[in-house]
Each structure stands twice: as C-alpha cells, then as structure tokens.
Amino acid sequence: MRRFSCKISAMSPSSSRFWKKAAFQTIARAEQLLRGKHRFSAADLSQIPNFLVLQQESQLGSVVHATPLYEALKCAVPDAHITVAASPMAAAVLQRNPHIDRSVVTPNPFADFREAARVLRALFQSQPDGPQCMVTTIGNQRTRLAMLGLFAGDAIRIGYTLAPELYDVPLCFDPERGQIEGNLDIVRRLGHDVGFYEPRVFFTQRDAERAAQHLESLGAPLSVPRVAYVTQNSGGQRNQWSAERFQQVVSILSQQRQAVPIFLGTAGEASTIEALRRDLPDPGISLAGRTTISELAAVLAQCDLVVSLDTGTFHVARAVGLPGVVISQAWKSPLEWLPVHHPRYRVMRGPTISEAPPDYWIEEVSADQVLKAATELMASYPADPAHRMERLQHSLR
C-alpha cells in the first residue's frame, strides 16, 4: 500500500489578511441584521452628543498627541459629553483635562477582554441620552479594541483601526501629516470644521507648588535660565545620543549662559543620569523618578528651555508651551511626531536613512549644532519669571 503524506504550510500573511477581512465582513453583516444598523450621513454624524474614547496605549507621547482631539471636539460641540476609557498612563495624562467629562481607568482588554467589555458596556449605559460614538485615536488601532467596541455597545464607531470592516467611519493614518492632524481628522470626519490645536497637559495648584519646591533646591536666582535635559529615551526606539555630547552642551550653557540644569527621567534612568552629572561644572538637580506626570508638566512649565531626545517628556514640554531643542533619529520622518515648522522648537537630525542599524546612535547630530540651536532659542525666548508664570496659568486647573 502506498503511503501518502500531506504537508500543511503556515498561512501566508496575505492569506491571513484575506480571512480576517472575510470574518470581519461577516460579523459586520450579522451586526447590521441584529441591531438594524444603517449608514449615517454627515449630518447625522455632526449631531452626535456623546463620545466614548478608547485610550488604551501606554506610550506617553501618543496620549499627549491625542489631547488636541478633546479640545477641538469640545469647541465644535460645546454640549458634548466625553468619556475616556483609559489605561493608567492615559488617565495620568488626562485626569485634569477640562475638555473631558470623565476619565475612567478600565481593565486591560489585552489581559482580560471579558471584564474590559463589561466595564465599557457600563460606561456606554451611563452616558447621557442620545446617539453614542466610540472613538479610537492613533495608537489604539488594535483589532482587539475594535472587537471590544463591538461587544460593548451599540454605537457609531469612528477612528483608526486594523479592522475597518467593523467601523462606520474608519480612518487611515498618514504619518507625513502628523499624529496631531491625524487625530483632529476624526473631528473633521464627524462633520466639524476645525483648525490646528497644540497638545496640552494640565495640572493642579498643588502640582505647581511641589514642582516649585523641587526647583527651589537649585538655590539660583529666578532670573537665571533654567534648562531641562532629557538624556535617556523610553526604550521604545533607538534614539540615543552620547553622554559626552550631553555633558558638552550642559557644561557650555552653564559656563557661558549661567544656565542651571534640571535632569528629568524615570526612576529606572536615575543611576545613568547620576553618572552623566558626576563631572559637570554645575550638576544642577535630578528629578528622575521623583515626579508624577502632572508634576513633571508643572516642572517643565517653570523652566525656560528643554534639550531633549525625541521621547515622551519632550511632548509634555511642548504641551505646556516650553521652547525646546529635540534631538531626533534619522531613520524616521520627524513629521509624524515633532513640531518641525514651529518657531518655538528646533528639530535636530541628520540626513534621512531608510532604517536604523542594530547599533544605531544619533552620531550625525553634533554638540555644536545643539548648542547653536539652544542659544538661538534662549535669545528669542530669554529666561523670564513672568513667562514661567504665563505657562503655569495656561495649564493650571
């Protein structure tokens, strides 16, 4: 008897995408039959008063870049009720935002989908009367979040997703337009004409007072420039700059401009920052691991300049209006994340490369280039206690 064997190969990516799309289309048709969902016109969308936004990402910068959405939506629909189903990181950023009615930390849908769906369903049910809209911003385009919205309630779904078949208004992100414009496009697709909004992070008077206490330990007159330094990245991207170049920048600004350095970072970065500070003529202070996100924002508001890698803390600095120099990697377009054309910022990067090698460092940006950019900004935006107070008042809630 001949023996036959059959070898089953792994499903190709294109085949997998085909079957996923077919499955989502089937689910969408079933939902339409069960719930009687119909197509909505632009006029219908513009009348929606209730919004539930899923912000489940853990990237600080991504959450900060979504904040213009809330302000734009509240300005376009003054009576809108906006609830955010948030990750702990997102809740920490958004807890004081006056354009949000509720920010609720929900179970992690990637760890406990059933409980997350139950809580999300309860949030939908607790919204005011009227049509509901579920929104996913850039960074939340996960298939599981699309399924979460499907099981959680009967709502119009709009935003960025890997399962467009399950959305009433799916959007496709163009990195060259930037994350902020991409998130604002959600409001535009709802039928509202909105312009550009800068990101914003808010804090309380208590946060501002705790930040002031930290800065008082500098022992420097209020007229002396305060420069915040972010020398470590979050670990998510290869965008490191050498400690020696940071030391050169800090030393020259301290000696020539009498600028006192404030080092910022996480608790896990504290020892590396201490090593960098060790041989500086003025070591300033390190607040690594000593602030909440709200306190971090309040510290930055009371500085005069930030010199930073392209990481979450820089985006918080931008969100409180602090001028800055950002040292950016060459393998990624700066248009997605950074304020390339904003007069308050200088984006330092070398010629574009297609991808980062495994041992990539930002060697193409020199200390002299960063120093030149920093001194130009310090001339345009000199140290001034009145300007610090303006930034505080702008973000105080």
pLDDT of residue 354: 82
pLDDT of residue 16: 63
Complete edge-to-edge strand list for the sheet that includes strand 81-86:
102-105, 81-86, 50-55, 132-136, 156-160, 169-171
32-189 placed in CATH 3.60.150.10: no
The answer to whether domain 32-189 and domain 205-395 are alike in fold is yes
pLDDT of residue 2: 40
pLDDT of residue 152: 81
CATH architecture of 205-395: 3-Layer(aba) Sandwich (3.40)
- Reported as type and span, the H/E element at residue 153 is none
For residue 213, CA distances in Å to 207, 298, 335 come to: 10, 11, 36
pLDDT of residue 213: 97
pLDDT of residue 150: 85
Low-confidence ranges of the chain (pLDDT < 50): 1-9
Backbone region of residue 362 per phi and psi (left: phi > 0; alpha: psi in -120 to 50; beta: other values) = beta
**For the chain, what are the domain ranges?**
32-189, 205-395
Q: Calculate ∠ Cα 233-236-238, nearest 5°.
A: 65
